[in-house]
């Protein structure tokens, strides 16, 4: 196993070596080679099978899938869907003042605000840069509405709950943005139902490696 593979116990490494050399091989035969009982090996065989290193066929035995830990990790990531990881969107009304939008962004500690109409449908996006640009001028931020300075549809990248998380991550990188609105199609337009951010992607990455929920 290479240094970039998922970390396995010494016994699990030995099981893989035996299956690689002798597969397909029964659990009883693996246990005999290790001088252990079948019951003792059962948890290790279950882990290696669930993780995708081994495959098992009834009345045939275990065989090595040929996949490394890195390949299995990659396959897992590619299956993640948006709806499994989206967070609550921070939305503001089109008529909100730039001053209030800056306050909202600060209080909510987010990098992107989604602007919606009376139907909760997306009409624009406000980034830190948009608000900073507006505040640098001599304009009255209390009387300036966000719809004047926001990025408007259709120039907004969006994603939907059944999209792949990896595709959302690619959009964040290629478009150099902090967050994406998760939307659903309605008769009135695109209703905002969530958000995916760079922080979302970072959390998923850390949880995947540490196997802990953050």
Examine the domain organization and report whether 29 and 106 are in the same domain. no
Q: What is the pTM of this model?
A: 0.66
What's the distance, CA 16 to chain centroid?
A: 30
Range(s) of the domain holding residue 56: 10-68
37 and 113 belong to one structural domain: no
- How many folded domains does the chain comprise? 2
Q: Could you tell me if residue 3 is inside a domain?
A: no
142 and 202 share a domain? yes
Reading phi first (left if > 0) and then psi (alpha if -120 to 50, else beta), residue 120 is in left
Residues 191 and 141 in one domain: yes
Token reading at 14: 């030995």
- Residue 71 is predicted with a pLDDT of 63
> Given 25, 45, 68, which residue is the final one in a domain?
68
Can you give the pLDDT at residue 78? 79
Q: Are residues 165 and 143 in the same domain?
A: yes
39 and 128 within one domain: no
Task: With respect to residue 127, please indicate whether it lies within any of the assigned structural domains.
Answer: yes
| Domain end marker among 44, 68, 92 | 68
Query: Are residue 94 and residue 21 in the same domain, yes or no?
Result: no
Residue 117, domain CATH: 3.10.580.10
Burial class (CB in 10 A: 0-12, 13-18, 19+), 9: exposed
CA distance 109 to 139: 24
Is residue 98 one of the residues assigned to a domain? yes
Q: Has residue 5 been placed in a domain?
A: no
Q: What is the pLDDT of residue 73?
A: 67
Cβ–Cβ contacts within 10 Å for residue 213, how many? 6
**45 and 89 co-located in one domain:** no
Q: Which of these three, 68, 96, 111, is where a domain ends?
A: 68
- Answer yes or no: do 123 and 188 share one domain: yes
Same domain, 119 and 45: no
- Whether 181 is in a domain gets the answer yes
In a shared domain, residues 127 and 22: no
Domain membership flag for residue 57:
yes
**CATH value at residue 42:** 1.10.10.10
Instruction: Please check whether residue 1 lies inside any domain of the structure.
Output: no
**37, part of any domain:** yes
Residues 45 and 88 in one domain: no
Residue 112: in which H helix or E strand, if any?
Answer: strand 112-116
> Which pLDDT score, from 0 to 100, does residue 87 have?
92
Mean pLDDT per block of 10 residues along the chain (214 residues) reads 57 89 87 90 88 83 76 73 92 94 93 92 93 82 91 90 93 91 94 93 80 58
């Amino acid at each position: 196993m290479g240094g970039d593979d998922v970390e396995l116990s010494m016994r699990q490494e030995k099981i893989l070596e035996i299956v690689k050399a002798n597969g397909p091989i029964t659990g009883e035969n693996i246990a005999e080679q290790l001088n252990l009982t079948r019951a003792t090996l059962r948890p290790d065989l279950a882990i290696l099978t669930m993780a995708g290193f081994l495959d098992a066929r009834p009345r045939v035995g275990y065989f090595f899938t040929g996949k490394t830990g890195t390949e299995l990790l990659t396959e897992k990531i590619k299956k993640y869907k948006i709806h499994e990881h989206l967070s609550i969107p921070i939305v503001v009304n089109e008529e909100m003042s730039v001053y209030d939008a800056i306050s909202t962004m600060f209080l909510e500690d987010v990098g992107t605000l989604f602007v919606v109409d009376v139907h909760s449908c997306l009409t624009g996006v406000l980034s830190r840069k948009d608000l900073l640009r507006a505040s640098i001028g001599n304009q009255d931020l209390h009387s300036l509405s966000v719809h004047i300075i926001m990025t408007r549809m259709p120039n907004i990248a969006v994603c939907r709950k059944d999209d792949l998380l990896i595709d959302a991550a690619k959009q964040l990188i290629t478009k150099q943005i902090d967050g994406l609105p998760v939307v659903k199609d309605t008769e009135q337009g695109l209703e905002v139902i969530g958000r995916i951010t760079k922080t979302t992607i970072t959390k998923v990455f850390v949880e995947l490696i540490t196997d802990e929920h953050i």
